[in-house]
Amino acid sequence: GAVVSQHPSWVICKSGTSVKIECRSLDFQATTMFWYRQFPKQSLMLMATSNEGSKATYEQGVEKDKFLINHASLTLSTLTVTSAHPEDSSFYICSARVLPGNEQFFGPGTRLTVL
C-alpha cells in the first residue's frame, strides 16, 4: 500500500518559536495532501487541504498566517506552526490522496508540545 511519512515524530519547543513538520509520500506522487489536528481523546479535525503548486485551502477557524502550508513538490508538503503557543500543542497528522478511488493514506503523526 501507499506509504506516507512524517518528520519529526515528536517535537518540544518553547513558546514563540516556529516549528516545521514535513509530510512525504514515499512511493507515489500526491497532488493533494491534507493536514489534520487531533487533541487527546478526540477525533481528527481537518485543518487544510494542500495542493501541489497552489495555495492551500484552509478550513473555517484555522488561521492561515499561523499554520503555513507549502506543497512544493508532488511528494512533499510542509506545515509550519508559527509563533507556537501552548494551546497549539497537539497531534498533527497528514494524509495523501491516492488516485483512482480517492483513498487517503495517513502519516504516523507528529506530537507537538509547546512549553
Partner 1 sequence: KQEVTQIPAALSVPEGENLVLNCSFTDSAIYNLQWFRQDPGKGLTSLLLIQSSQREQTSGRLNASLDKSSGRSTLYIAASQPGDSATYLCAAQAAGNKLTFGGGTRVLVKP
Q: Give the interface with partner 1 as residue ranges (CB under 8 A).
A: 1, 6, 32, 34, 42-46, 49, 91, 93, 95, 97, 101-109, 111
In the complex, what is the shortest distance from the CB of residue 9 to partner 1, in angstroms, rounded to a whole number? 10
In the complex, what is the shortest distance from the CB of residue 73 to partner 1, in angstroms, rounded to a whole number? 19
Say how far apart CA 92 and CA 99 lie, in whole Å: 23
Query: Comparing C-alpha atoms, which of 29, 45, 24, 57 is closest to residue 92?
Result: 45
| Nearest to partner 1 of 5, 82 (CB atom) | 5
| Nearest to partner 1 of 17, 26 (CB atom) | 26
| Nearest to partner 1 of 49, 70 (CB atom) | 49
Reduced 3-state DSSP string for 60-79:
CCCCCCCEEEEEEECCEEEE
Contact assessment for residue 35 and residue 45, using Cβ atoms and an 8 Å cutoff: no
In the complex, what is the shortest distance from the CB of residue 85 to partner 1, in angstroms, rounded to a whole number? 22
- DSSP string for 40-62: TTS-EEEEEEEETTS--EEPTT-
| Nearest to partner 1 of 16, 108 (CB atom) | 108
In the complex, what is the shortest distance from the CB of residue 83 to partner 1, in angstroms, rounded to a whole number? 26
